[in-house]
A and B are shown apart, each in its own frame.
Chain A
Amino acid sequence: MTASIDTPAGRIPCVSSSLNFQDRLGTAKVRAGIGRNSYMVDPGLYALGQPDTDSPVLISANYKMSFDNLREALPGRNAWILVLDTNGINVWCAAGKGTFGTDELVGRIEECGLRSLVNHRRVIVPQLGAAGISAHEAQRLSGFKITYGPIRAADLPEFMDSDHKARPEMREKTFSTTERLALVPVELVHALKTLFFIFPSLLILGGLAGTDGLRASVALGLLDTAGLMFGILAGCVITPLLLPWLPGRAFAAKGIPPGIACALLFLFLFLPAASEIKLGALATSAWLLIIPAVSAYLAMNFTGCSTFTSLSGVKNEMRIAVPVEIGAVAAGVILLAVSRFLF
């Protein structure tokens, strides 16, 4: 916030189109999964540049990254930004939940006195917000025409300069390598967090099996942890990055080849220590089941991050994938247990 201006709609805070160090640090943190649930701006009106009664009104969500993305895309422009209350969720997800919705938009327009602020009767809503907003309903209720802007904020200047016409590419959601890469850290953090919680039980299991003293027990526990980490590497990093090129359409299926590759890598790296940590034929086959299954499961969960999966499809995929994943992990655990307790 740089200052504020007085308008017929009250005092409105001014914001800049350039992000400072604090903003960039905030983005980096939420990308890494830190404080994502409380990264918010206050709902309401903001002035970007020196807007007047003819300036465009852009609608955003109160997730700070959504808001920052929008203002960063508009250097040297004058516009009003109307931030809806989406509980700190981005536009697309909030539209899916209905919080970025017709009622909130109409209510916010009314509450913020948009009518007395601008002469025109048009608001620009991000296209991905259309899953929550009914343009004709919102217009009927608010008197403002809803114009759907491009998907990417970066395309807004061109969109506004060309009489609110979007090229077809501006209307299609992509899922490029860069976009997928940006999602990897947060997925990794979530998976490692789960691993952290089951780590003590892995150590205890190692201890139960270790008949050769404490050192061997700890080694077994660490080996199991390392094995699961290879599954996480396959499902949370390699599968998302190679997504378009992996065979199959179901995400779980796409997770299997990286899972097998990582299982082989894991076995290759830890085979030299086999004599000390009991990595026999049974344990080898166990890991060939567990790592690909973990990878397939995590890959399946990447559907939620992706930009092209349907709920019908996900349910379809899960009907087969979930039993297979559970079965493979269970079989693997039994094989591991047999290899450790009976031999």
Chain B
Amino acid sequence: MGKLVYLKDVVTLGLDGEKCSGCGMCAVVCPRAVFEISGRRAAIIDRDSCMECGACALNCPTKALHVKTGVGCATAVINSLLGIKTSGCDCTIDQYQTGDTGSPAAGSNCK
């Protein structure tokens, strides 16, 4: 079984090659093997596999990565839209308070 991949061309991940120092942290933290380090530079080799968790941007010491972080959960989006604070798996991450540069989503009312 190959790698499971979600929708094409939807993610907000971006890399500023000028700022990259080639430290390789993005490749270490990414759980989806999106990056490859070659020639002392990071490269996005599998963008569609990105799930916007934000680990790469948060752990990039030179702020070369940007991604609009969030959790890919329809239930959380519905709960957020309906203003429900606890339901389903009790996860109501506010999808609209997420940072632009990889700061984690602000959780609300998580038991």
Q: Which residues of A contact B (CB under 8 A)?
A: 36-38, 87-89, 93, 95-99, 101, 127-128, 130-136, 148, 151, 166, 168, 171-173, 175, 186, 190, 243-244, 249-251, 300-301, 303-304, 306-318
* A313-B105 contact given A37-B90, A308-B32, CB 8 Å threshold: no
Main secondary structure of the interface of B (DSSP, over half): loop
Do A172 and B33 touch across chains, with their CB atoms under 8 A apart?
A: yes
Measured between beta carbons, the chain B residues less than 8 angstroms from A171 are: 28, 30-31, 33
In the complex, which of the residues A36, A131, A166, A310 contacts B72, with contact meaning CB atoms closer than 8 Å? A310
Contacts A87-B110, A310-B6 aside, 14 further interface pairs with beta carbons under 8 A come to A37-B90, A87-B111, A97-B110, A131-B55, A171-B30, A172-B32, A243-B4, A251-B74, A303-B74, A304-B74, A306-B4, A313-B72, A314-B74, A315-B77
* A308-B5 contact given A98-B104, A172-B31, CB 8 Å threshold: yes
- Closest residue to A125 on the B side, CB-wise? B29
Do A311 and B95 touch across chains, with their CB atoms under 8 A apart?
A: yes
* A304-B73 contact given A99-B107, A151-B31, CB 8 Å threshold: yes
Least Cβ distance of A304 to chain B in Å? 3
> Of residues B29, B52, B74, B95, which shows the largest number of chain A Cβ atoms within 10 Å of its Cβ?
B74
- Closest residue to B58 on the A side, CB-wise? A134
Measured between beta carbons, the chain B residues less than 8 angstroms from A307 are: 4, 31, 51
Do A132 and B6 touch across chains, with their CB atoms under 8 A apart?
A: no
Least Cβ distance of A320 to chain B in Å? 11
